[in-house]
Structure 1
Amino acid sequence: MPALNRSRALLLAAFSAGALVLTSVPALADNGYGDGGAQHSDPDQQATANGQDLTAAVKIDTSKNSQDPEAGPLAPVSNWKPPACWYAPTYTPAEFKKLEEHTWSLESTGYQWDAEQRDKYAGGKPYKDFNKDKAGKGFWWTSDVNRSFPPGWDSCTKEPFWVDKGDPPPVPDSQAAATPEDLAHIAYGFVHVPDTKVTLAPAGATKVNLPTWVWLDKTAFKPVSVTATLANYNISSTVTATPQSLKIEPGTADAQLFPASGECTFVNGSIGTPYAKGDADKTPPCGVTYLRASGNNGPFKLKATITWKITWTGTGTAGGTLPDGAFGNTQDVTVDEIQAINR
């Protein structure tokens, strides 16, 4: 059975047993992979929590994410991406044995496959009785995937494997959820920020050669954060996204931007200045003047993209920065000619 199908079979088996396991993981040591002890969670306890996405041994707290119904994930402005999948210490020997034996009892993976797995994990080829003689000395590691970044299942296909405490896992550093920095990278992929729809004045159709003021509701654009924790171990990282600037793209080359770069910066948590009566002839701190009408081809597609600065802090470390993220959207702008009255 391919590793992908096996992972799904194990997941289905866990749910059918009424158990999604939050399991223990090693605390950090100088080598980055730890040697500490912990209390293990009950494998028969359903793991659910408000504002939390429980993913294998990594718990994701999204309660401080944006609550905007149109919120979306950040796109890193560089070639870096959050990990699509990772490996984490997930099961004690007793927990893994219970899960595997339940899977075999369902007879859903086929006799030959089950026999091979019994030999591998229980029969000494190479593991004996799920390493129960090593209880408290290590953990079974499994893969998990961030569903926002497919095809994660295709990148982490290694079957469950054992790692002694203090030993690094036999996978690339970028795929191991074993340090605070690893957790920060994982948390980045779960950050959601509010929609970038801006307020325009005039609110309806604007006019050729008249400035259109652009601003954002500052109450909607505050820092958001996500925390990733290795369950049952006091190891966690919090990623915080803080809005930095708004880039305006008017949807046509026939436009003048304010400022000329089209980059409006946040000042005191706000972008731009709300239009006030009497400001029609003033230059907006953030805005655009269209130099031609949108015409019969339909409205211009004004794109507003916010750049968010990403920082992180973690257990035992001051943390640092990760690549900036961006989230943008488009909205229609109708531009009419100014109608002159001939007498």
Structure 2
Amino acid sequence: MVTALVTGTPAFADNGIGGGAEEPTPSTGADVDGNTVSVTAGGVVFDRSKNGSGKSTGALTASSNWTPPACWYAPKYTPDQLQKYLEPIWEAGSTGHQWDADQREKYNANDEEKGFNKDKSGDGYWWGTYVNESFPPGWDSCYEDDYFWVDTGDAPPANVENAITPEILAGLAYAEIRVPGTEVTLAPANATKVNLPTWTWLDGADFHPVSVTASVPVLGLEATATAEPVSLEIEPGTGDAVTYPASGVCPINNNNGRIGEPYAKGKADRTPPCGVKYLRSSGDGTYPLQATVTWEITWTGTGSPGGEFPNGTFGATQDVVVQEIQAINR
């Protein structure tokens, strides 16, 4: 049985098959606008072409304790590549003669023609562990224990834990999603007044579904994680305020993708569907209004109906000036 050990030093995630145990230097591709299209790391290729864009984009925070996969098994070496990686380790003489001998026997290393499964070159790969170093929770619980051979088209042994699956790929894709910033539009824009309803909204053109696809090309496996905005939560930054609606949570308009409603002339006597009313002046300072968008996460994958991950959130804070309404005495 292949297991993940809790001892030793974890190997770096490799830059694709045969990358060795060196720290990876990701390969990148860029479209005409200079946006990153894909980065290869740990044997997984990410297509970020449908991700959020802009200077204020950021990663989602899962609404539960969910974290991305810490490690997984996937194709790692061809026969020649595994030999090139292991031979210098055995020759170093620091691992113990018996261990070296056992390893050489395991991989039939003394047979120049069949050692390391050279007679199967092109018909499979040696599989190993990839460690997701970008997300620390749990990363040190994964350690590369051993390599095992899988013929092309065959599934890995049933007793191998964390063999790469569409769901693992989808979790890695989720972690790569970037969503637009959440600075809301306010009306009045520069400064609002005490007891005056302030309209807030987010343009539907900026808040549309985004997605990232993760794949392992040599296995023909891929999965796409999609984030779709569902609501905006407004926190005024002071207890001396009321929100619209009272919960402070504004749902998305499914007809136009907008959250909230823009203010326009003739709406002064209306209550904003999404907004805030401050009951006290901010004086010489400001109130830190926080706007947080909740994104619903779903995924689909090769040969799988897919499913859902915990919702993610992304927010930002902006300063709001609140002034007293000046009365004129005649």
Residue of structure 1 equivalent to 2:112: none
1:216, CA displacement in angstroms? 0.7
2:54 is paired with a residue of what secondary structure? coil
Residue of structure 1 equivalent to 2:156: 167
Task: Note closer, same or farther for the CA distance 1:313–1:151 as it changes in structure 2 (3 Å cut).
Answer: closer
Aligned letter for 2:317? T
Residue of structure 1 equivalent to 2:29: 49
RMSD across aligned C-alpha pairs, in angstroms?
2.9
Deviations 1:109-154 (A, max 9, x none): x651597885564x22x4332632573355221213151x225541
Q: Distance in 1 between matches of 2:102 and 2:55?
A: 47
Task: Note closer, same or farther for the CA distance 1:163–1:273 as it changes in structure 2 (3 Å cut).
Answer: same
Q: Distance in 1 between matches of 2:182 and 2:99?
A: 50
Q: Does 1:78 align with 2:58?
A: no
Aligned letter for 2:206? A
2:174 to 151, 167, 188: 188
1:238, CA displacement in angstroms? 0.8
Deviations 1:32-63 (A, max 9, x none): xxxxxxxxxxxxxx954331121122111111
2:326 is paired with a residue of what secondary structure? coil
Higher helix share: 1
- Identify unmatched segments of 5+ residues in structure 2: 1-6, 19-25, 31-36, 110-114
CA contact (8 A) 1:184 1:312 kept: yes
2:328 is paired with a residue of what secondary structure? coil
1:316, CA displacement in angstroms? 1.6
1:257, CA displacement in angstroms? 0.8
Q: Distance in 2 between matches of 1:120 and 1:282?
A: 80
Residue of structure 1 equivalent to 2:9: 3
CA contact (8 A) 2:82 2:126 kept: no
Q: Does 1:283 align with 2:263?
A: no
Task: Note closer, same or farther for the CA distance 1:134–1:180 as it changes in structure 2 (3 Å cut).
Answer: farther
Deviates more, 1:70-79 or 1:88-97: 88-97
2:325 is paired with a residue of what secondary structure? coil
TM-score (ref. length: structure 2): 0.81
Deviations 1:224-269 (A, max 9, x none): 0110111223211111111111111111121111111111111121
Task: Note closer, same or farther for the CA distance 1:134–1:81 as it changes in structure 2 (3 Å cut).
Answer: farther
2:167 is paired with a residue of what secondary structure? helix
- Identify unmatched segments of 5+ residues in structure 1: 12-19, 24-45
Task: Note closer, same or farther for the CA distance 1:273–1:90 as it changes in structure 2 (3 Å cut).
Answer: same
CA contact (8 A) 1:213 1:287 kept: yes
1:128 to 108, 111, 120: 108
Task: Note closer, same or farther for the CA distance 1:232–1:166 as it changes in structure 2 (3 Å cut).
Answer: closer
Q: Distance in 1 between matches of 2:96 and 2:186?
A: 63
Deviations 1:285-311 (A, max 9, x none): 110001111224x31111111111111
Identical-residue share of aligned pairs (%): 48
2:127 to 123, 127, 140: 140
CA contact (8 A) 1:104 1:114 kept: no
1:98 is paired with a residue of what secondary structure? helix
Residue of structure 1 equivalent to 2:83: 97
Task: Note closer, same or farther for the CA distance 1:63–1:251 as it changes in structure 2 (3 Å cut).
Answer: same
1:332 to 300, 319, 326: 319
